[in-house]
Structure 1
C-alpha cells in the first residue's frame, strides 16, 4: 500500500516545483514559459515515472546508459529524454540506437565525445542531436566539464566541425553545499556571453542549464536560467550527488 503514497508524493513535488518556478519568474520579470524542468529519474522505477508522465510531464533525464536503455522502451514515445553528465565514448552508439526519442545529451566536455556523437548520429541516420557543453565552473576535480577558459573553443568545434550535432547551450553545477552558487551561475552566464560574441550568436540561441531544487530560484532571479533539473524526492530537502555527475539535480 506504500507505493501509491510515494507516487502521489512525486507528483505533488512536481507541482510544487512548477509553482516555485512561476513565483521566481514573476519576482524577476523572467518569462516562466522559457524555464523548462527536467525530472531526473535515475534509480526510480518505470511505474513512478509513469505517474509523473500521467500528471502531464514529458521531459525526463537519466545518467546511466543501461538504465535508460531498459526504461525508455517501456514508456511512451513522446517522452523527451535527456542523457545527463559524462558519457563514455564506447557507449555512444548503444545509447543513440537504443533510445530513438533521446532529445539531448548534456555533458559534452571534450572534442572526442563530440566527434563520437557526431559520427554515431550520422551512421544511424538520426536527425541532428541537441547537445549542451558542460562547463566546470566550481573548479572541482571530481566534476566533469571543460574549464571555462576552453569553453569557446569547444563550442566552436561542435558548431563548425560536428554537422550532426545542434549546439543548444551550456550546463554546469555548483558546489554541493551551494557555497559558490552565485559565482558558478555568473561564470556560466559570462561563458555564454563570450560564446555568443565569438560565434555571432544571440543569447536566446544558447540556453543555460543550471540549478537544483535548492538553488534554481536564484538562477531564475539572475535571469540566466532556461533549463533546470529538479530533484523530486519524497523527503523534503533531500539531495543526492554523484562525483562525476554534473546535473544530478532532478531525481524524483
Structure 2
C-alpha cells in the first residue's frame, strides 16, 4: 500500500480529538512530500539536524514535532521553528528551551515526559519529580515555554493489560494535575501510543499518537 493509503486507513481509526503525528525519522523528503500531498501536516523527528534539513526543504505550514531525546546544546537549532517538543525530561532542559525561545521571540510548546514503563531505558520524570517542578518559583518565571501536556511510552511488551495499565496511570496523573488548585496549568495534550499500541493508548485517554512504520513502512537504519 502507498503512504497515502496507509494514512487514510489509520486516520479512519482515529477519533476526531486525536492528533496524528507522522513519525518520519530516517525517511527521505520524497516520502514526507507524499504524506503532505495526502493531507498530513504534523511530522515527528527524533534528530534535530535531520528535522532542520527537512524543515528547510518542505512547505512552511508543516508542524514539526521533536519526539526524540533532546540534548540541551542542540535546542538552539530548532528553536526558530519547532511546534512541539515531546520529550522534556529535566528542568534544566526546560530552562534551556525557555532561553532559546526568548532569543527567537517565541513561546515554545512542550510536553513533559513521564517514566511509565518498567524498563530502565526510558527517560522521564516520576510523579513526585513532576509535581515538585510545578511548585518551583523558577517554573513560574519561564515566559518562553508553555507546558501543554504530558508524554509517556509504555513498556515494550506483548502484555496488553500491562500497556493499558501504564497508559491509564499517566491519564490519571494528567487529570490530577489539571484538577489541582495549586498548579496553574490547563494541559490539553496527552501524547501516548505508537504504531504497536496506539489503539490501547486512545482507549485510555491519549489525544496524540506517534505513528511511523505503519505509515512509511519499516525503517532503514543503515
**TM-score above 0.5:** yes
Quick one: structure 1 residues 140 and 118, their matched pair in 2 at CA, closer, same or farther if it must change by over 3 Å? same
Quick one: structure 1 residues 90 and 220, their matched pair in 2 at CA, closer, same or farther if it must change by over 3 Å? same
Gaps (5+ residues) in structure 2? none
- Map of 2:62 onto structure 1: 79
| Equivalences for residues 67-146 of structure 1 within 5 A | 67-97=50-80, 100=81, 102-126=82-106, 128-146=107-125
Q: Could you list the structure 1 runs, at least 4 aligned residues long, displaced by more than 6 angstroms after superposition.
A: none
Quick one: structure 1 residues 19 and 147, their matched pair in 2 at CA, closer, same or farther if it must change by over 3 Å? same
Quick one: structure 1 residues 119 and 63, their matched pair in 2 at CA, closer, same or farther if it must change by over 3 Å? same
Note the alpha carbon deviations across 1:111-150, whole angstroms, 9 max, x for none. Answer: 1000000001001222x11100000101422111112222
Gaps (5+ residues) in structure 1? 1-7, 22-31, 241-252
Paired with 2:216 and 2:44, the residues of 1 have a C-alpha distance of 20
SS at match of 1:39: strand
Note the alpha carbon deviations across 1:48-77, whole angstroms, 9 max, x for none. Answer: 000000000100010101111111110000
Quick one: structure 1 residues 104 and 193, their matched pair in 2 at CA, closer, same or farther if it must change by over 3 Å? same
Residue correspondences, number: 216
Paired with 1:103 and 1:49, the residues of 2 have a C-alpha distance of 17
Paired with 1:153 and 1:47, the residues of 2 have a C-alpha distance of 44
Are positions 1:10 and 2:24 aligned together? no
RMSD: 2.3
Quick one: structure 1 residues 58 and 16, their matched pair in 2 at CA, closer, same or farther if it must change by over 3 Å? same
Structure of greater relative contact order (alpha carbons < 8 Å, 6+ residues apart): 1
Are positions 1:207 and 2:189 aligned together? yes
Bigger share in helix: 1
SS at match of 1:56: coil
